[in-house]
Chains A and B, each alone.
Chain A
Amino acid sequence: MSGKSRVILSAIALYLAALALHWVHVSKQRSASEGTGVKLVIFGPSSWDSFAPGAAEDVVARVTGDLDTRFRIEHPQVKQIVHDVRGPVADGLARLRNAEVAGDQLDVVVCAANPVNTAYARGGLIAPLDALVTPIRQRFTPGAVENFTVDSHIWAAPLSAVNLTTFFYNKDLFANVGAGAPKTYSTFRALVPKFRAANVIPVVHQGKNAWMWLFYYMSALTQATENRQVFFVERMLEGTTKFTDATNVRALQLARDWVDDGLLDAQSNELDENTMKSVFYSGKAAAFFGDTWDIPGITSNVTFHWGVFPFPQYDSALGHPEAFGGVESGLCISATTRQSALAEAYIEFATRDENARRLLQPLGAFATSHTNVVEGDDEISRELRAQLPAAKFLDWIFPPELTDFMQRQMQAMMGQTQTPEQTAANIEAKYETLVQAGYVYKATKSASPAATK
C-alpha cells in the first residue's frame, strides 16, 4: 500500500514540477514580449483578415513587417506592433466579440466589408471613422468608401483588392465539347448533354455553405428586376412589396432552373468550399460560380487552362447580368481601443498610396480600393475589369436573421426539396414574424439610387 502511495506521490510531484517549469517559461516569454513603450495591436478576426490576404505566408509576413517598420520610423514612441490574425472565417465574429468582451487590447481591426455591414457597425464592435476618412477620400476608388458606409457613417478606410462574383471554368473541358465561355443561359444549357456524354459535371457549387447560394438568387434577381434589384429589395423590406411577388418568385425559379436543367449538380449541398474546389481542380466538374478571392487558390492548385466568364444572360427581355462585389476589406478602429489617435494614425499611414501599393502588390489584383494602385494586366484581369463597377451585395441590406433564413431556404430549394413558390412563401412568413417582433427597415445612405446601371 505504501509503495503504491509513494509511486503516486512521486508522479504527482513530477507533474507539478513540470508544470511549474512550464509556467516559469511561459511567463518569461510573456514579459519578454512586453517591453517599455507603446504597444499597438492589429486584430484580424479570421485568417482571411490579414494584409495581402491570399498571398503566401512569408509574403504576408514580409509586407506586414515592412509596413510596421516604416510606421515606427514615423512614430518612434511605438515599441511594438502585434498582429493577431487567426481562425476560420465562420468564427471571426465570435473571436472579435470575445476579445472585446474580455477586455483584450485591440486597436486596429482588419475587417471585411460583409461583416462590417451586417454585424460590426450596428453591433457596437467598431467605432466610426468619418473624421479620418472624409479628408482623404480621394485616395479611394468610387464605391470603395460606400461599401463601408452604414447608417450614414463611415466605418473603415478601404484597403484591398476589388473582388467580383464570377464563373470560373476549365477551358480544356469546354474545348473538349467544342465550346467557349457561354454568354447566354440557353447556350450553356445546350452544352449539358455534351458534358454528360463526356462524364463531366457542368457546374458545381459549395452548397453546404448555405450563404453561398445567395449568389445565384442575387444574380437572377438582378435580371428579373431589370437591374433595379436594390430598389426592389428595399420595397420588400419596407413591406410595400411581398416576397411572394411574381418577380421575386421568377428570380427564384431562374435560380432553380440551373438544377432542373441539369447544369448545376443536384447534390451540390454535400460540398463545402474545399470539397467543391477539389472536384473542380481534379477535372470532374467544368465550372463553378465563385468570387475572385478564389483566384490565388486556383492558380496554385490547377493544372489545366482556366478562365472566367460573367453570369450568363437569361433571355433578352430581362435586365443584363451584373457582377457583385467591390472593395472587400479595410481597416477599422476597435470600439474598445484606448489609443484611438495612434490607431487612426496607423490607418492613415497604411492607406497612403505608396504604402497601399506595397501591401496590395503581391495580390496582382485587377482593381483595388486605391485609384492610384492598379495591378494585373493579363487577359483575365482585363476581362474582370470590364465587368466593373460592381453591384452591391444584397445580403448587406437584409437583416441578418432574414438572410440566414433565406440562405437555408435557397439551400432546400436548390436541393430540390421544395418549390420556388414554397420558398417565397416561407420567406414572406419569416419576414412577417420579424416585423411583428419589431423589425423596421432603415434606409441606409449606402443604398444606391434606383434605376441607374
Chain B
Amino acid sequence: MTDSPFRVGFARVAGYAALLIAALQALGPILWIVAGSFKSKADFLVNPWRLPQSWLFHNYVDAFVVARVGDYVWNSLTVVTLGLSILLVAAATTAYALARFRFPGRGVVTVIILVTMMVPSDVLTVPLFVVLRSLGMLGTFLGVACLYAASGFGISVFLLRGYFMSVPREVEEAARLDGASTLSTLWYIVLPMTLPGFASVAVIQAMAMWNDLYLSFVFLRDPASATVPVGLLNFFQRDSVDWPRLLAALTALTVPVLIVYAVLQRRFVEGLTAGAAK
C-alpha cells in the first residue's frame, strides 16, 4: 500500500474494532441463548440476562430424550436434502439458460419466475392442497420437498444467473470448440468456476428450508413427520414455555448447522480462485 505506516496501523485497529463490534451484535443473542439453556425454569424467568445460578446440563438431555428433538432433526434432514437436490438441479439449469442463451421467450420466462416469487404461501394453501392431493403426495416428504424447491426457485435462479454471467465467455467458447455439450460445459466448466456462488445459494436455501415453519406446519401434519420448527412448537405447552429446554434444543441444533456452514464456507465460498477482495 502506498499509505504511511501510521495510517496503516490506524486502519488496522479500526478494522479490528469494527469486526469486534460486528461480532458482538451477532453473538449477543447466541450467548443469551446458550446461557439460558443451562438455567432452571425459575432462574430463567427471574432474570434472563444474568449468568446461570447453577449450570444444568439436564436441559440438553431432556431436549433429546423427553422432547425427542432427534426425530425432528432426522425428518428435517430428509426433507431438506430432497428439496435441495431438486432445487439445485432445476435452478442451475434454468439460470444457465437465462444467463447464456438468447432465445425467444427469454423475457417471458424471466417475468414468470419473478411473478412466482411474489405470492405469499398463505394464499396458496388450498390450491396447493388440491395439487398435492391429486399427485398423491399429500403428507409426504417428497411433496413438501417439492414445495420448498419451488419457493426457493426464483431467488436461486436470479442469484445463480448473476454468478454465471460473471464467468468469462472465452472459457466456455473454448470448451464448446472442443466439442463439449451444453450440459457438460455447465457441469465441468461453469459450475467449478462459480462454486462460491453456487455454494452460497445452496447454503442460503438450506437454511430457509431448515427453518421453514409454515409449509411443514400445514402439509406435514403427522406427528411422526414433524420437522424441527414444527417440533419446536411443542415446547409451547399450555401453561408455560420451558424456555431453558427450548434454548438447549436450539443450541444443540445450531451447533452442527454452524459447523457444516463453517466447513462449506472455507471450502467453497472462500473460492478456489486466488482472488481476495482487495
Residues on A facing B (Cβ under 8 Å) = 1, 12, 15, 19, 22-23, 26, 29-30, 47-48, 53-54, 84, 86-89, 91, 94-95, 98-99, 101-104, 274, 277-278, 281-282, 294, 296-297, 300-301
Nearest first, the 5 A-B pairs at minimum CB distance are A297-B239, A278-B45, A88-B236, A282-B46, A48-B238
Q: Is the CB of A15 within 8 A of B233?
A: no
**Smallest distance from the beta carbon of A30 to chain B beta carbons, Å?**
7
Counting chain A CB atoms within 10 Å of each CB, the highest count among B223, B238, B240 belongs to B238
Instruction: Name the A residues within 8 Å of B234 (CB-CB).
Output: 47, 86-87
Give Cα A12 to B88, complex, Å. Answer: 13
- Write the chain B residue with the least CB distance to A282: B46
Q: Is the CB of A277 within 8 A of B240?
A: yes
Instruction: Name the A residues within 8 Å of B258 (CB-CB).
Output: none
Q: Is the CB of B42 within 8 A of A47?
A: no
Task: Please judge, given known A-B contacts A19-B82, A26-B224, A278-B45, whether A88 and B129 are in contact too, CB under 8 Å.
Answer: no
B182 within 8 A of A: no
**Smallest distance from the beta carbon of B50 to chain A beta carbons, Å?**
13
B74 within 8 A of A: yes
B181 within 8 A of A: no
Partner of A102, one of B45, B188, B221, B237: B221
Q: Is the CB of B239 within 8 A of A91?
A: no
Task: Please judge, given known A-B contacts A86-B233, A102-B139, A104-B221, whether A53 and B74 are in contact too, CB under 8 Å.
Answer: no
Secondary structure dominating the interface of A? helix
Partner of A98, one of B82, B218, B237, B243: B218
B227 within 8 A of A: no
Give Cα A101 to B241, complex, Å. Answer: 30
Q: Is the CB of B217 within 8 A of A26?
A: no
Give per-residue flags for B119-134: 1 if the beta carbon is below 8 A from chain A beta carbons, else 0: 0000001100100010
Q: Is the CB of B188 within 8 A of A15?
A: no
B166 within 8 A of A: no
Task: Please judge, given known A-B contacts A98-B221, A102-B221, whether A282 and B45 are in contact too, CB under 8 Å.
Answer: yes
**Smallest distance from the beta carbon of B128 to chain A beta carbons, Å?**
10
Partner of A296, one of B41, B45, B139, B239: B239
A-B contact pairs, 26 of them (CB 8 A): A1-B188, A15-B81, A19-B81, A19-B82, A22-B74, A26-B224, A30-B224, A87-B236, A88-B233, A91-B217, A98-B125, A98-B217, A98-B221, A101-B126, A102-B139, A103-B138, A274-B241, A274-B243, A278-B45, A278-B46, A281-B45, A282-B45, A297-B239, A300-B239, A301-B42, A301-B45
**Smallest distance from the beta carbon of B213 to chain A beta carbons, Å?**
10
Q: Is the CB of B78 within 8 A of A19?
A: yes
Instruction: Name the B residues within 8 Å of A281 (CB-CB).
Output: 42, 45
Give Cα A300 to B234, complex, Å. Answer: 20
Instruction: Name the B residues within 8 Å of A89 (CB-CB).
Output: 238
Instruction: Name the A residues within 8 Å of B240 (CB-CB).
Output: 274, 277, 297, 301
**Smallest distance from the beta carbon of A91 to chain B beta carbons, Å?**
7
Instruction: Name the B residues within 8 Å of A301 (CB-CB).
Output: 41-42, 45, 240
Give per-residue flags for B100-131: 1 if the beta carbon is below 8 A from chain A beta carbons, else 0: 00000000000000000000000001100100
Give Cα A85 to B236, complex, Å. Answer: 13
Partner of B138, one of A23, A102, A277, A282: A102
What 5 new A-B contacts, CB under 8 Å, besides A30-B222, A281-B45? A22-B78, A26-B224, A102-B138, A274-B241, A296-B239
Q: Interface residues of B, CB < 8 Å — how many?
A: 34
Instruction: Name the B residues within 8 Å of A29 (CB-CB).
Output: 224
Partner of B236, one of A22, A47, A54: A47
Instruction: Name the A residues within 8 Å of B133 (CB-CB).
Output: 102-103
Give Cα A195 to B46, complex, Å. Answer: 20
Counting chain A CB atoms within 10 Å of each CB, the highest count among B41, B85, B221 belongs to B221
Instruction: Name the B residues within 8 Å of A274 (CB-CB).
Output: 240-241, 243
Give Cα A12 to B86, complex, Å. Answer: 13
Give per-residue flags for B175-205: 1 if the beta carbon is below 8 A from chain A beta carbons, else 0: 0000000000000100000000000000000
Instruction: Name the A residues within 8 Å of B74 (CB-CB).
Output: 22
**Smallest distance from the beta carbon of B127 to chain A beta carbons, Å?**
11
- Write the chain B residue with the least CB distance to A55: B238
**Smallest distance from the beta carbon of A12 to chain B beta carbons, Å?**
8
Instruction: Name the B residues within 8 Å of A19 (CB-CB).
Output: 78, 81-82
**Smallest distance from the beta carbon of B79 to chain A beta carbons, Å?**
10
**Smallest distance from the beta carbon of A301 to chain B beta carbons, Å?**
7
Give Cα A213 to B28, complex, Å. Answer: 34
Give Cα A301 to B239, complex, Å. Answer: 10
- Write the chain A residue with the least CB distance to B138: A102
Q: Is the CB of A102 within 8 A of B233?
A: no
Partner of B129, one of A47, A102, A277: A102
**Smallest distance from the beta carbon of A10 to chain B beta carbons, Å?**
15
**Smallest distance from the beta carbon of B124 to chain A beta carbons, Å?**
13
Give Cα A296 to B237, complex, Å. Answer: 12
**Smallest distance from the beta carbon of B239 to chain A beta carbons, Å?**
4
Instruction: Name the A residues within 8 Å of B221 (CB-CB).
Output: 95, 98-99, 102, 104
Instruction: Name the A residues within 8 Å of B59 (CB-CB).
Output: none
Give Cα A282 to B41, complex, Å. Answer: 12
Instruction: Name the B residues within 8 Å of A47 (CB-CB).
Output: 234, 236-238
Instruction: Name the A residues within 8 Å of B138 (CB-CB).
Output: 102-103
B51-108, CB < 8 A from A: 74, 78, 81-82, 85
Give Cα A29 to B141, complex, Å. Answer: 15
Q: Is the CB of A87 within 8 A of B233?
A: yes
B156 within 8 A of A: no
Give Cα A102 to B132, complex, Å. Answer: 10
**Smallest distance from the beta carbon of A76 to chain B beta carbons, Å?**
27
Instruction: Name the A residues within 8 Å of B223 (CB-CB).
Output: 84, 86
Counting chain A CB atoms within 10 Å of each CB, the highest count among B41, B74, B218 belongs to B218
- Write the chain A residue with the least CB distance to B82: A19
**Smallest distance from the beta carbon of A26 to chain B beta carbons, Å?**
7
B225 within 8 A of A: yes
Give Cα A30 to B223, complex, Å. Answer: 11
**Smallest distance from the beta carbon of A128 to chain B beta carbons, Å?**
25
- Write the chain B residue with the least CB distance to A89: B238
**Smallest distance from the beta carbon of B210 to chain A beta carbons, Å?**
15
Instruction: Name the A residues within 8 Å of B46 (CB-CB).
Output: 278, 282
**Smallest distance from the beta carbon of B113 to chain A beta carbons, Å?**
26
Instruction: Name the A residues within 8 Å of B238 (CB-CB).
Output: 47-48, 53-54, 89
